[in-house]
């Protein structure tokens, strides 16, 4: 996997990325994170804010096609990769915990999984999950 430019992760609210290559790198990074988290296609669609009929879009991203150049999708990608990075830093020696965290019931979310929080609240839910990971890291 190519190294992601840290500026892409540091400012998810930045203007939409117009560089097709960078959006392709983001797609590959997201698919890798989703694979490590063992997410179903339905869960991937929820996290990316895609409709239920977006399997072909997921397949294209898995094949390395660039993410769509939309503000919502790029914001979500930034938050998801921030969560991924945060979990890597929190649990470097425990891949089971790190990779299962997104699907596990969490007392901080009243027994719901982070994926369920995003499903219920959309992008604000994703921001809540990211903020929780950042708090766990002491930020």
Domain containing residue 51: 16-136
Query: Is residue 92, in this structure, part of any structural domain at all?
Result: yes
Give the C-alpha distances (Å, rounded to integers) separating 125 from 7, 60, 79, 132.
Answer: 23, 25, 11, 11
Residue range 100-127, pLDDT digits in tens: 999 999 999 999 999 999 999 999 999 9
CB 47 within 8 A of CB 118: yes
Q: Is residue 6 part of a domain?
A: no
Q: Is the pLDDT of residue 16 over 70?
A: no
Reported pTM = 0.84
Is residue 54 over pLDDT 80?
no
User: Structural domain tally of the chain?
Assistant: 1
DSSP H or E segment with residue 75: helix 71-90
Out of 6-10, 25-29, 113-117, pick the least confident: 6-10
């Amino acid at each position: 996997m190519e190294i992601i430019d840290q500026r892409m992760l540091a400012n998810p609210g930045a203007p939409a990325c117009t560089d097709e290559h960078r959006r392709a790198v983001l797609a590959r990074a997201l698919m890798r994170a989703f694979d490590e988290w063992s997410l179903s296609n339905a869960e991937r669609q929820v996290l990316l804010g895609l409709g239920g009929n977006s399997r072909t879009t997921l397949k294209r991203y898995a094949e390395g096609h660039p993410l769509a150049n939309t503000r919502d999708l790029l914001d979500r990608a930034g938050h998801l990769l921030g969560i991924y990075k945060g979990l890597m830093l929190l649990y470097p020696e425990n891949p089971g915990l790190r990779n299962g965290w997104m699907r596990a019931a969490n007392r901080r979310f009243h027994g719901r999984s982070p994926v369920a929080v995003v499903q219920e609240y959309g992008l604000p839910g994703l921001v809540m999950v990211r903020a929780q990971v950042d708090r766990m890291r002491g930020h």
